[in-house]
């Protein structure tokens, strides 16, 4: 389904009129890039017993929707990780937005 069709189906005027759940549902339904589907599912359900920052994730997912970009969410397991003598810290999610 195209973005325009989805916006119309949801009764919104534009992408800014979509709710956070509608943005997540668009990608979890398999629309767009597979990375965006995985990211939307991670924002919705969490992973590895943790949940990413929902507000930041939704903002980036909305940007991916509006600008045809790809959101990648990576889990960084901080337990026991040392690089060049620097501790990474606690486990966390890293979110990056890139061109598709």
Confidence of residue 91 (pLDDT cuts 50, 70, 90): confident
Q: Which of 93, 88, 29, 87 is nearest to 60 (CA)?
A: 93
pLDDT at 83: 66
Q: CA 21, CA 95: separation in Å to the nearest integer?
A: 19
Tokens 């990375």 sit on residue: 35
d(CA 49, CA 33): 25
Enumerate helices (H) and strands (E) in the chain, giving the number of each: 4, 4
pLDDT tens string 7-16: 999 999 998 9
pTM here is: 0.83
């Amino acid at each position: 389904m195209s973005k325009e069709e989805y916006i119309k189906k949801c009764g919104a005027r534009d992408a800014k009129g979509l709710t956070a759940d509608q943005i997540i549902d668009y990608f979890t339904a398999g629309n767009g890039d597979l990375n965006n589907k995985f990211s939307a599912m991670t924002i919705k359900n969490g992973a590895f017993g943790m949940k990413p920052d929902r507000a930041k994730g939704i903002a980036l997912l909305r940007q991916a929707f509006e600008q045809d970009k790809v959101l990648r969410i990576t889990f960084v397991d901080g337990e026991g990780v040392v690089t060049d003598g620097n501790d990474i810290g606690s486990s966390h999610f890293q979110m990056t937005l890139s061109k598709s």
